[in-house]
Amino acid sequence: MNVAQIDRLAEKALRGFASRTSRRSVFSVLGAMLAGASALPLLPVARADAAPASDPNSGRQPPKPSGNPQDPGDPTQCDYWRYCAIDGSLCTCYGGSVNACPPGTEMSQITWIGTCRNPADQRNYIISYNDCCGGVLWGRCNCQRNDGDRPVVRPQNNNEVTWCFGTKSQSYTCSTAVILGAAIEPR
């Protein structure tokens, strides 16, 4: 096929297309394509972003409720009741738990305390925010809640201090929220 033949073929195809379609129908096709583009986020990749964390394809951690109805909520989330005065990274995201440090770290026994209300039994609990020290350093699952936090003049009520004392390393990794006991209710 030479150039002249290609020319003729193309001309024929375009004339045929022009005779079969109106300008308006071209716009309607373009419009449909635009509408299709807006629907692109519904394709599988975007759907995975919007999927609930329980979907194994979502790429996110599934909810991890404590399993105890008297200890409600998800200790991997900032809004868990024991974290009412936490400032730092949750050990539940580093291989630890709400009351255990991740492997490879050391728990500081000198710490500070907060008082949090348990929404299940409506009791106030003394929560000890023992820090875990000497492990990896990065800002995963960072939470800042300040109920009862007070300026560092009262360090025992301050959540800005790195509570890594008496540990081999004072480099901060993450924080736990250990129940020390139910608070004595004011009469």
Partner 1 sequence: MSMKAHSVRALLVSFFALFFLTPPAGAVDFPEPLPAEPVPNVRTLPERYPQSWVFLNYASNRIELRNVGSDSRDVEGQLQARDSTTLLVPKNRPEIYTADTVWSRYTRGTRTDYITVYDTKTLNPIGEIVLPGAKRALITTMQGMFAFTDHERMGLVFDFTPASSVTVVDLIARKVLNSIDIPGCSLIYPTGARGFSTMCSSGTMLSLKLDAAGKVIGRRETRKFNDLDHDPLFTASAIVGGVRYFPSMHGIVQPVDLRGDEVKILPKWPLVGAADLPAHWRPAGWQIAAGEGDKLLYVLMQEHAHEGTHKDASSEVWVFNVDTKTRVRRLRLVRPGSSIALTQDASPLLLVQADQRLDVYDPATGGLIRSLNLPGFSTRMLIQPVP
Encoded tokens for 101: 């440090």
Instruction: Check binding of 142 to partner 1 (CB under 8 A).
Output: yes
Beta strand segments in 77-112, E: 87-89, 106-107
**Bridge partners of 26?**
none
Per CB under 8 A, the list member of 169, 175, 184, 185 interacting with partner 1 is 169
- Where does residue 73 fall: left (phi above 0), alpha (psi -120 to 50 degrees), or beta otherwise? left
Q: Closer CB to partner 1, residue 34 or residue 174? A: 174
Per CB under 8 A, the list member of 110, 120, 180, 182 interacting with partner 1 is 110
Contact yes or no for 130/109 (Cβ under 8 A): yes
Q: How many residues of this chain interact with partner 1, rule: CB under 8 A?
A: 34
Catalytic residue among 7, 79, 81, 131: 131
Per CB under 8 A, the list member of 145, 178, 179, 183 interacting with partner 1 is 145
Residues in the chain: 187
* Separation of alpha carbons 114 and 93, rounded Å: 21
Instruction: Mark whether 131 is an active-site residue.
Output: yes
Instruction: Check binding of 102 to partner 1 (CB under 8 A).
Output: no
Contact yes or no for 96/102 (Cβ under 8 A): yes
Residue numbers annotated as active site? 112, 131
Binding site for partner 1 (CB under 8 A): 2, 84-85, 87, 110, 134-137, 139, 142, 144-155, 160-162, 164-165, 168-173
